[in-house]
């Protein structure tokens, strides 16, 4: 697993990506390392530089440092859940184009297809060492694994399920009224797994609550080891670290249990802060600080009322699973000493899909031309050369439904909440079926009214025009490239 | 008005305050200047250091600097409206003890009494030059004026009304269908006024929308002039600058109109940022930086849904007028180079009432002993010598009703919302009459659940015990010192 035998079975897609590469001037420089740390369900308002941290009772000094040393995006936009956002990050496409617009669950027919081209393949094709440590959540089928999509190494939780599967053992042992689960039961439950490129998934150990509490320590240790190995080998690396900070159950490690003033969620924020600091320290120790682009972002808004978790959406309405701003806008830091101006912020609209073409440009690679890529190149935003960037719109899907369209500061909802929906939603979300909008689409000015209190469709009806143009442009792409069936429990 | 003839008619209360003064060691040093800038309806989440500023589309670089140079309080607690909070700040008492627990309106019988002892009298008694420029909002009766309560100089809007009275002229001219209001109509409307200690209120000019837009420039210019005069005279000064930043209508000055990305509210935040910077620059220019305690705080939470304004409560539920955390917790910075540690924050509970005894200690004065003082000395919080401070409880009143009690991290609601209430409230507030609580008091853990989503009374009923002890202690004081009638429209 530690890189002795790298199987290379990436298939024709990868070859297509790599051979197109007429290297740009940028890529003829030394190839930069890229480290992408992805937090899980951490909201816009949770961390120090976004009004959380110390203000919330959970100081984040290392993340505060990251903000001082890098760029803070204030309009970083994602999809409303773990699988959708991770699919969008990996492919540069709306998740619905890969049938991944709902959170997948074990046994779901919706998993990443062999045909998908991911960041793994992009970096691999450009000669990078690649690794993912943590949560994949795009499927456990052989063709869906990260190691089937350009990643040399994988270690993490079951790739078709999330951090909460750590509660399996409790559930089982409670049901059976036994104190310690026998090995047999543990073996049937969720397993920590590992794999190398093209190889099968191997189980490592049962994923228990104890493992849950300490897993980010494991993942960060593996990340540090990976960066050290690649630096020693003189090889550029892409490290994807989707760790557990923020996701239920937020069981803190021994080192951080009780460290915050607000309980486990705060403890886990402080633990994540420590881990981000460890990654920064390693880059410095290895002397690759100036040649490494570090991104630290969340996948979607927080769990609050829906799960009685403590994540905070900052000034925005709603949370994970909804189509509101609190669900689809969260934090993102970008740091690259000498390239990204320290202590800055940008209000450019920046989608999680935009990393795909942006990284492609930075490493001198080409993005696929045989499919729609919804991400746009945002290099100029990262380097402070553009104030508003290359994006002025975004679609939001829940399952099979297109529920909202953003155009400049306006958001227009295209569907309404089905009356049988549960949870705190005022707008359609993963926990409430969509219903046809009764009458006129609902319009909000997100920038002036971040909490979406004032429906202004009647006042600014003109904004529906350009907003619907965005919808039409997307629909146009479906003629040549129809979507696979979208995730839905009725699709079993 | 500029200090030539200082009438001294402060009465026996002041003499009592001043003559007790057995000067402490602290006060035998050079007396520090105190500058208190009070924003109006600016919420916890509005400014850069609390997750607003640039994140909201209205950068606040000078206030960000203030946070770097001073202390940021994260549990600064106020009363739910302008008059109540200002009464509490001035007297160190719950506003209800002076009958000022609702916002006063012209003609209301509830104004500051002759018997009240204010910060003006405290500083005056300690030999300070004193001034207030801006909004008093504690009454326009002769005995209620700031210049009847220790302030040498006053310039500002009508002292029994708020910034919104600038809309009077529009209303009148609209009613009369005339383009320009005749002088006669203007003279009947609200007037900018001025006064010197003990003297009458003199009208300066009509308070129009044009004056509204530029008034903070006027108030800051007067503040700078005041500080320069007192520094030249070698006299310690207390400057109270309750300016308009944040209060409806947020008409920006010419210099800042259109400067933010989010409209007038943002423009006004940026304008206020500039003004705070001007005050800091003046202290530096005058060489009194190290001998000046600067406070910059808000009076209460923002106007959001109730007034279609854009203030933001950060992670907390609710807004101005309610008894929720979003209404009664807001921002506060304290800066004193060499004394207050730069770049720090404190989560100690700190009430706006606490400034009264805290300032008294700092200037070597004594607080009145012939009345209950609800504020507590928090010098140790300011100087970083205590993490939790001297406060662990707080009562919240709406009009005549005690609606909530805070004890440590718990808040317990004692009344419910009357079903005829209007507005977005879930809890009792100024815009909804209180009703008896149906059954058990509602309990929230404010620190772990800042948005007050989870009612945990059934789980943590024990917290009602110590919370009700706080109520009982307060009730005990009423035996010797009963309250005057509380503000209520039925009291006319």
Question: What would the pLDDT profile of A352-396 be if each residue is shown by its tens digit?
Answer: 999 999 999 999 999 999 999 999 999 999 999 999 999 999 999
B397 pLDDT band (50/70/90 cuts)?
Answer: very high
A423 exposure class (CB count in 10 Å sphere: 0-12, 13-18, 19+): middle
* For chain A, the helix, strand and coil percentages under 3-state DSSP, each to the nearest 5: 35, 20, 50
* pLDDT above 70 coverage of chain A, percent: 86
Instruction: Tell me: pLDDT of B288 over 80.
Output: yes
- The closest alpha carbon to A237, from A194, A283, A206, belongs to A283
pLDDT on residue A425: 54
pLDDT on residue B178: 55
In the 8-state DSSP scheme, what is residue B97?
G
Say whether residue A45 is in contact with chain B using an 8 A CB cutoff. yes
pLDDT on residue A449: 87
User: Can you tell me the distance from the alpha carbon of A205 to that of A212, in angstroms, rounded to the nearest whole number?
Assistant: 12
Q: How far separated are the first and last CA of chain A, in Å rounded?
A: 34
Instruction: Tell me: pLDDT of A123 over 60.
Output: yes
- Which of A262, A265, A448 is the best mutation test for B, with the most CBs of B within 10 A? A448
User: Can you tell me the distance from the alpha carbon of B153 to that of B162, in angstroms, rounded to the nearest whole number?
Assistant: 19
Tell me whether the omega of the peptide bond preceding residue B249 falls within 30 degrees of 0, making it cis: yes
Q: pLDDT for A181-225, tens place per residue?
A: 567 778 888 999 999 998 899 999 999 999 999 999 999 999 999
- The closest alpha carbon to B408, from B374, B445, B373, belongs to B445
User: Can you tell me the distance from the alpha carbon of B418 to that of B114, in angstroms, rounded to the nearest whole number?
Assistant: 35
Identify the helix (H) or strand (E) that includes residue B205.
strand B202-206
User: Can you tell me the distance from the alpha carbon of A71 to that of A334, in angstroms, rounded to the nearest whole number?
Assistant: 5
The residues, ordered by sequence, that sit 6+ positions from A119 with a Cβ below 8 Å of its Cβ are: A36, A89, A90, A150, A238, A240, A355, A356, A359
Say whether residue B310 is in contact with chain A using an 8 A CB cutoff. yes
Number of other CB atoms surrounding residue B88 within 10 Å: 29
Structure token pair of residue B318: 């609710």
B454: chain A residues, CB-CB within 8 Å = 308
Residues listed for chain A: 492
Give the residue-averaged pLDDT of A53-71: 96
A312: chain B residues, CB-CB within 8 Å = 315, 450-451
B246: left (phi over 0), alpha (psi -120 to 50) or beta: left
Asked if A262's CB is within 8 angstroms of B448's CB, the reply is yes
Biggest CA–CA distance in chain A, Å, is 65
Asked if A447's CB is within 8 angstroms of B312's CB, the reply is no
pLDDT on residue B45: 93
User: Can you tell me the distance from the alpha carbon of B72 to that of B51, in angstroms, rounded to the nearest whole number?
Assistant: 12
CA dihedral (A423, A424, A428, A431) in degrees, to 10, reads -20
In the 8-state DSSP scheme, what is residue B457?
T
What positions of A carry a catalytic annotation? 82, 137
User: Can you tell me the distance from the alpha carbon of A463 to that of B199, in angstroms, rounded to the nearest whole number?
Assistant: 57
Closest CA–CA distance from residue B467 to any residue of chain A (Å): 20
User: Can you tell me the distance from the alpha carbon of B73 to that of B151, in angstroms, rounded to the nearest whole number?
Assistant: 27
Instruction: Tell me: pLDDT of A401 over 70.
Output: yes
* Pairing of the two strands B191-196 and B202-206: antiparallel
B247 pLDDT band (50/70/90 cuts)?
Answer: very high
- The closest alpha carbon to B195, from B224, B138, B153, B243, belongs to B153
- The closest alpha carbon to A405, from A377, A443, A449, belongs to A443
Instruction: Tell me: pLDDT of B438 over 70.
Output: no
Nearest by CB to B447, from A57, A450, A451: name it: A57
Structure token pair of residue A344: 């800055």
Would residue B275 show up in a list of annotated catalytic residues for this protein?
A: no
A275 contacts A231 by C-beta, under 8 angstroms = no
A235 exposure class (CB count in 10 Å sphere: 0-12, 13-18, 19+): middle
Give the residue-averaged pLDDT of A144-152: 98
DSSP string, B267-305: HHHHHHHHHHHHHHHHHHHTT-GGGEEEEEEESS----T
Average pLDDT score, chain B: 88
Structure token pair of residue A330: 């969260």
Give the residue-averaged pLDDT of A234-249: 96
B365 contacts B121 by C-beta, under 8 angstroms = no
- SS3 of residue B358 by DSSP: helix
A51: chain B residues, CB-CB within 8 Å = 45, 50-52, 55, 314-315
A413: left (phi over 0), alpha (psi -120 to 50) or beta: beta
B425 pLDDT band (50/70/90 cuts)?
Answer: low
Give the residue-averaged pLDDT of B314-323: 89
- The closest alpha carbon to B305, from A451, A329, A44, A304, belongs to A451
Number of other CB atoms surrounding residue B39 within 10 Å: 29
Give the residue-averaged pLDDT of B194-222: 95
A179 pLDDT band (50/70/90 cuts)?
Answer: low
pLDDT on residue B420: 55
Asked if B262's CB is within 8 angstroms of A447's CB, the reply is yes
Instruction: Tell me: pLDDT of A481 over 50.
Output: yes
CA dihedral (A83, A87, A90, A92) in degrees, to 10, reads -140
Give the residue-averaged pLDDT of A245-250: 93
Dihedral sign for Cα B422, B426, B427, B429, please: negative
pLDDT on residue A14: 44
Structure token pair of residue A83: 């699988």
A216 contacts A121 by C-beta, under 8 angstroms = no
The structure tokens 């699973």 sit at A321
pLDDT on residue A369: 97
- Please give, one letter per residue, the 3-state secondary structure of B235-276: CCEEEEEECCCCCCCCCCCCCCCCCCCCCHHHHHHHHHHHHH
Cα B62 → chain centroid: 21
B198 pLDDT band (50/70/90 cuts)?
Answer: confident
A457 pLDDT band (50/70/90 cuts)?
Answer: confident
What residues of chain B, 52 to 81, have a C-beta less than 8 Å from chain A?
52, 54-57, 74
Identify the helix (H) or strand (E) that includes residue A275.
helix A264-285
B11 pLDDT band (50/70/90 cuts)?
Answer: very low
Instruction: Tell me: pLDDT of B199 over 70.
Output: yes
User: Can you tell me the distance from the alpha carbon of B196 to that of B186, in angstroms, rounded to the nearest whole number?
Assistant: 24
Closest CA–CA distance from residue A55 to any residue of chain B (Å): 6
* Pairing of the two strands B410-413 and B442-445: antiparallel
The helix-helix angle for A209-232 and A264-285 (nearest 10°) equals 10
- Which of B45, B48, B50, B55 is the best mutation test for A, with the most CBs of A within 10 A? B55
Q: Which stretch of A61-65, A435-439, B172-176, B199-203 has the lowest confidence by average pLDDT?
A: B172-176
Instruction: Tell me: pLDDT of B492 over 90.
Output: no
B79 contacts B134 by C-beta, under 8 angstroms = no
- Highest mean pLDDT among A229-238, B259-268, B320-329 belongs to A229-238
Q: pLDDT for A296-331, tens place per residue?
A: 999 999 987 655 668 899 889 888 988 999 999 999
Phi, psi of B322 (to 5 degrees): -95, 175
In the 8-state DSSP scheme, what is residue B110?
-
User: Can you tell me the distance from the alpha carbon of A135 to that of A101, in angstroms, rounded to the nearest whole number?
Assistant: 17
Asked if B305's CB is within 8 angstroms of A453's CB, the reply is yes
B457 exposure class (CB count in 10 Å sphere: 0-12, 13-18, 19+): middle
Asked if A447's CB is within 8 angstroms of B261's CB, the reply is yes
B235 contacts B250 by C-beta, under 8 angstroms = no
pLDDT on residue A23: 42
A7 pLDDT band (50/70/90 cuts)?
Answer: very low
pTM: 0.84
Structure token pair of residue B429: 């507030």
Asked if A347's CB is within 8 angstroms of B261's CB, the reply is yes
Structure token pair of residue A54: 């110390």
A93 contacts A374 by C-beta, under 8 angstroms = yes
ipTM reported for the complex surpasses 0.85: no
User: Can you tell me the distance from the alpha carbon of A138 to that of A88, in angstroms, rounded to the nearest whole number?
Assistant: 11
Nearest by CB to A56, from B55, B315, B454: name it: B315
More confident residue, A146 or A10: A146
B343 contacts B316 by C-beta, under 8 angstroms = no
Say whether residue A387 is in contact with chain B using an 8 A CB cutoff. no
Q: Which stretch of A54-58, B105-109, B305-309, B470-474 has the lowest confidence by average pLDDT?
A: B305-309
In the 8-state DSSP scheme, what is residue B337?
T
* pLDDT above 90 coverage of chain B, percent: 69
Instruction: Tell me: pLDDT of B22 over 70.
Output: no
pLDDT on residue B185: 75
More confident residue, B269 or B435: B269
A247 pLDDT band (50/70/90 cuts)?
Answer: very high
The structure tokens 């969620």 sit at A265
Structure token pair of residue A6: 């790298």
- The closest alpha carbon to A453, from A419, A420, A411, belongs to A411
Asked if A55's CB is within 8 angstroms of B51's CB, the reply is yes
B297 contacts B76 by C-beta, under 8 angstroms = yes
- The closest alpha carbon to A298, from A26, A45, A1, belongs to A45
Tell me whether the omega of the peptide bond preceding residue A249 falls within 30 degrees of 0, making it cis: yes
């Amino acid at each position: 697993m530690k890189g002795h035998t790298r199987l290379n079975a990436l298939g024709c897609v990868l070859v297509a990506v790599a051979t197109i590469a007429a290297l740009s001037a940028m890529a003829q420089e030394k190839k930069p390392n890229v480290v992408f740390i992805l937090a899980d369900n951490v909201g816009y308002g949770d961390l120090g530089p976004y009004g959380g941290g110390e203000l919330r009772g959970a100081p984040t000094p290392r993340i505060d440092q990251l903000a001082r040393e890098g760029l803070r995006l204030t309009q970083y936009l994602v999809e409303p859940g773990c699988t959708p956002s991770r699919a969008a990050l990996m492919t540069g496409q709306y998740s619905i184009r890969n049938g991944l617009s709902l959170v997948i669950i074990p046994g779901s027919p919706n998993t990443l297809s062999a045909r998908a081209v991911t960041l793994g393949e992009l970096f691999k094709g450009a000669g990078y060492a690649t690794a993912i440590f943590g949560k994949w959540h795009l499927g456990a089928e052989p063709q869906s694994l990260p190691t089937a999509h350009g990643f040399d190494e994988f270690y993490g939780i079951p790739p078709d399920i999330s951090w909460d599967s750590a509660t399996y053992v409790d559930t089982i042992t409670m049901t059976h009224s036994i104190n310690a689960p026998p090995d047999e039961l543990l073996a049937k439950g969720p397993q920590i797994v590992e794999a190398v490129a093209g190889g099968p998934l191997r189980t490592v150990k049962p994923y228990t609550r104890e493992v849950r509490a300490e897993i980010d320590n494991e993942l960060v240790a593996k990340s540090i080891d990976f960066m050290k190995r690649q630096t020693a080998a003189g090889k550029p690396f892409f490290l994807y670290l989707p760790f557990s900070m923020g996701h239920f159950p937020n069981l803190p490690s021994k080192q951080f249990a009780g460290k915050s003033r607000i309980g486990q969620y705060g403890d886990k924020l402080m633990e994540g802060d420590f881990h981000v600091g460890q990654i920064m320290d390693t880059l410095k120790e290895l002397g690759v600080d100036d040649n490494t682009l570090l991104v630290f972002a969340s996948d979607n808004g927080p769990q609050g009322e829906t799960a009685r978790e403590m994540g905070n959406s900052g000034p925005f309405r709603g949370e994970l699973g909804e189509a509101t701003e609190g669900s689809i806008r969260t934090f993102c830091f970008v740091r690259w000493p000498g390239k990204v101006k320290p202590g800055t912020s940008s209000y450019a609209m920046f989608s999680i899909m935009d990393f795909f073409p942006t990284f492609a440009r930075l490493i001198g690679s080409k993005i696929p031309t045989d499919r729609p890529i919804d991400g746009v190149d945002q290099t100029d935003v990262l380097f402070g050369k553009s104030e508003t960037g290359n994006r002025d719109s975004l679609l939001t899907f829940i399952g099979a439904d297109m529920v909202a369209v953003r155009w400049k500061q306006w958001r227009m909802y295209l569907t309404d909440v089905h009356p049988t929906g549960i949870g705190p939603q005022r707008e359609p979300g993963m926990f409430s079926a969509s219903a046809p909008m009764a009458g006129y689409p609902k319009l909000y000015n997100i920038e002036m009214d971040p909490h979406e209190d004032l429906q202004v469709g009647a006042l600014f009806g003109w904004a529906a025009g350009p907003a619907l143009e965005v919808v039409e442009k997307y629909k146009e792409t479906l003629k040549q490239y129809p979507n696979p069936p979208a995730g839905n429990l009725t699709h079993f």
